[in-house]
Amino acid sequence: MKKINLKSYTDFIVEKTTQLLNIDSPTGYTENAAKWVKDEFSKLGFETKLTTKGGVIIDFGGKDKENGLLLEAHTDTLGGMVATIKSNGRLQLTNLGGMNPNNAETENVRVVTKFDGIYEGTFQLNNASIHVNGEYNNIKRTWESCEVVLDEDVNSKEDVEKLGISIGDIVCFEPNVRVTKSGYIKSRFLDDKLSVGILLGFGKYLVDNDITPDRAIYGHVTVFEEVGHGGCSSVPSGCSEAISVDMGCVGEGLSCTEKQVSICAKDSGGPYNYDVVKGLIAAAKKSNADYAVDVYPHYGSDVEATLRSGNDLKHGLIGAGVYASHGYERSHKEGAENVLKLLISYIC
C-alpha cells in the first residue's frame, strides 16, 4: 500500500472530536450530539438518518450490497441523574453508565432541568471542607457520600424545587478538553467521541479521494452504548460484518499505548471473530499502522450487543489507545491516525 499523508485528516479528526466533546450527551440526553453528528456527516455528502432510538445511520457508499460492513461508534457518555433533592438543598445522584464517584469528585457539572433551563454546580464529598471534616481521608466515595452543590442560593429542598430542578433531571460532567503541543488529547468522554471523529475523518478521506468501496459500508453512531443496548438494532440490510470503533484499553498487563490502534482479540463477552481479527492485523501490517493486539479484562462493546440481539454477523473491535478509561481520559493524535490507517487499509 502506498504511503499516504494523513496529517490533514488527523487534524480534522481532532477538530471535530473537540467540537463533539463540548456537546453534553450522557446516556438519555443525546439529541443535541446526535443532531451534530448527523449534520457533520451530511455536510460531507453522505446520506444519513436518525433511528427511532436517536442514533445516526450513515451510508458511506459501496458496491456489494449483500456483503456490507457496519462500523459502530457511540456518542453517549457517562453522566448522572438527580435521584434525591436533599433537605439542605444539595442533590444526590444516581450514575448513568459507569460513571465513578471516585474520579468525578470536585468536577463542575450542569444540571439540565426538563423545563426550566440549566444550572451549574460542583460534585463534592458531603461535608467537603478538610478543615471541618476530620474523617475526610477515610470516607469511601460513593453516590450516597457525595452530592452536587448548586451554584445558586438554595438551602432547602423547597428552594431547589422552585428553580425547576426535579427527580430525573440529567447531570452533565464537564469534559475539560485539552490538546497538548505534544499531540496528546485529554478529556472526559474520549470514549467514544474520539471514534466518532475518526469516522468523520474516514468519511472525509473517501470523499476527497473519490473512493467507492468494493463493499457497502455503513456507520451507526449509537446513543445507548454505555448502558449496554446501543447496537441492538438498526443494522442495515445486507450487512455480514460489524466492527465497533471504540476506545482501545491502555493499562497494566496490556501492550497498547495511546499512540497505537488496538485490535481486541477478546473481552469480557468472549472472543471476537477469528477471521476478522486476522484480517485487521493483516490490514494494519499492510498500511504500516502501529498496532497492538490485546485481551480486555473488563469491557463490552456495541458490536456484542448487535450479536446478542440476534444478528448473524462476523464481529471485531478496534480503537485508539485510551488511558484512564471512564475517568479523565488521554489518547494521542498518532493513535487516531493509526485507527484511520487501519480502516483505510481494511476497507479500501
3-state SS string for 228-292: CCCCCCCCCCCEEEEEEECCEEECCCCCCCCCCEEEEEEECCEECCHHHHHHHHHHHHHHCCCEE
Q: Which domain holds residue 128?
A: 79-173
Question: Residue 164 phi/psi, 5° resolution?
Answer: 100, 5
Residue numbers annotated as active site: 225
Q: Do 66 and 84 reside in the same domain of the chain?
A: no
Q: What is the CATH number of the domain that holds 214?
A: 3.40.630.10
In a domain, 180, yes or no: no
Do residues 194 and 151 both lie within one domain? Answer: no
Distance, in Å, from the CA atom of 348 to the CA atom of 340, rounded to the nearest integer, reads: 11
Does residue 223 belong to any structural domain of this protein?
yes
Output the CA angle 287-290-295, nearest 5 degrees. Answer: 115
The reported pLDDT for the residue numbered 5 is: 83
* Span 33-52, average pLDDT: 98
The strand pairing partners of 302, in sequence order, are none
Which residue type sits at 190?
A: L
Q: Are 289 and 312 members of one domain?
A: yes
Which of 143, 173, 203 is the last residue in one of the domains? 173
And the C-alpha cell for 182?
A: 505534544
Cis preceding linkage at 59, omega within 30: no
Q: Is residue 181 one of the residues assigned to a domain?
A: no
Same domain, 46 and 195: yes
Domain-located, residue 179: no
Q: Is the pLDDT of residue 108 over 90?
A: yes
- The proportion of the chain whose per-residue pLDDT surpasses 90, expressed as a percent, equals 99
156 lies in the same domain as 259: no
197 lies in some domain: yes
Residue keyed to cell 446513543: 223
- Cβ neighbours of residue 16 closer than 8 Å, sequence gap 6 or more: 40, 196, 197, 200, 201
What is the C-alpha end-to-end distance of the chain, expressed in Å?
Answer: 10
Same domain, 112 and 226: no
Total domains in the chain come to 2
pLDDT in tens, 281-338: 999 999 999 999 999 999 999 999 999 999 999 999 999 999 999 999 999 999 999 9
**pTM as predicted:** 0.97
CATH number at residue 159: 2.40.30.40
**Is 86 within a domain?**
yes
In a domain, 182, yes or no: no
Instruction: Verify that 343 and 216 share a domain, yes or no.
Output: yes
Q: Residue 65 has what pLDDT?
A: 96
Cell numbers that stand for 121 in this block: 454546580
What is the average pLDDT score of the chain? 97
Find the Cα–Cα–Cα–Cα dihedral 206, 207, 211, 216, rounded to 10°: 70
